[in-house]
Amino acid sequence: MIDVVVLFFLFGLAAGLVRSELKLPGALYESLSVFLLLAIGLKGGQGLAEQPLGPLAPQLLAVIALGVLQTLIAFGALRMLGGLARADAGAMAAHYGSVSVATFAVGVNWLMTREIGFESQMAIFLAVMEIPAIMVGIVLVRGIGRDTDWRLLAHETFLGKGVTLLLGGMAIGWAAGAEGLASIKGLFFDLFKGALALFLLEMGLIVARQAGELRRRGVFIVAFGLVMPLVSALLGLGCGLLIGLSPGGLTLLMTLAASASYIAVPAAMRLAVPEANPALSLAAVLGVTFPFNIVAGIPLYNWAANRLAGA
């Protein structure tokens, strides 16, 4: 049976495609984003408070390498197979090397609904994997030169809203522990699924607005938006097996690897590569990859994780 939060996404998508007047207030969408990021961070921090942090170092290096490899593969495919200009290929590759908080949130909800456990450090992986793809994408387009404003770029990358909220939530969850978070559990944990449903309703409306761009860009963008997540999921599976994740953790790492950023990377690319066409990347990310992952990808990744992990 399809998850109820995915039904909210499909409802928003259908409403947008038939040009309904349905529209959520912009302030609500921003508030829901803040809520989901904090809730994910708090839950991850609570889990981290219950385990030693030392073993995390090699795992973090592994997921950073995963993000770099994904970006390089995407750039090569976009240049050689798609014939995209260097700026557009670098910007889109950065989107696909980075991660989507919304896709991760759907994956967390999918596992929790089925009472499938996963490692608490997955929230840290989410924060860490935002960054390498941005830096690699810029280097692929610009090289390393005097004109790059690394200070401004670093500020946008490391202190952007998404990363700041995730890391802040994890720090609070780690410092407070389960007992300290008990007083706010009703808000941030119990209402998580309802907030995610409203967020995905708005995401469906946003995706519907990308339909025109997809029609203009043709078959390659659609094919890339479907094939690249599968390639990335396989890389995520290999990385997860290497660092010894459980089937639930493997599912989430595959989901992270298969996802593509539509918040942090567009903001960074707008600063560093202004000549890249943002509509091209967002049409593939929001019009193809995001719907594929939340409707069909996550169950597929869980099936593969269970088969290969012997669960």
Place of tokens 């459980």: 246
Alpha-carbon gap, residue 201 to 198, rounded angstroms = 5
Q: Mean pLDDT: which of 27-31, 162-166, 174-178, 223-227 is highest?
A: 223-227
pLDDT of 146: 65
Alpha-carbon gap, residue 132 to 79, rounded angstroms = 20
Ordered by start, the domain boundaries in the chain are: 4-8+26-309
Give the pTM: 0.82
pLDDT of 1: 61
pLDDT over 60 (residue 311): no
- Report in angstroms the alpha-carbon separations of 252 from 16, 30, 249, 263, 277: 29, 24, 5, 19, 30
Tens-digit pLDDT profile for residues 212-230: 777 776 788 889 999 999 9
How many residues are given for the chain? Answer: 311
**Which pLDDT band, with edges at 50, 70 and 90, does 71 fall under?**
very high
Yes or no: say if 5 and 187 are a contact pair by the CB < 8 Å rule.
no
pLDDT over 70 (residue 153): no
pLDDT over 80 (residue 105): yes
Q: What is the mean pLDDT of residues 56-69?
A: 93
Classify 234 as helix, strand or coil.
helix
pLDDT over 80 (residue 143): no
Yes or no: say if 98 and 67 are a contact pair by the CB < 8 Å rule.
yes
The burial of 215, by beta-carbon neighbours within 10 Å (0-12 exposed, 13-18 middle, 19 or more buried), is given as exposed
CATH code of domain 4-8+26-309: 1.20.1530
pLDDT of 134: 83
pLDDT of 157: 64
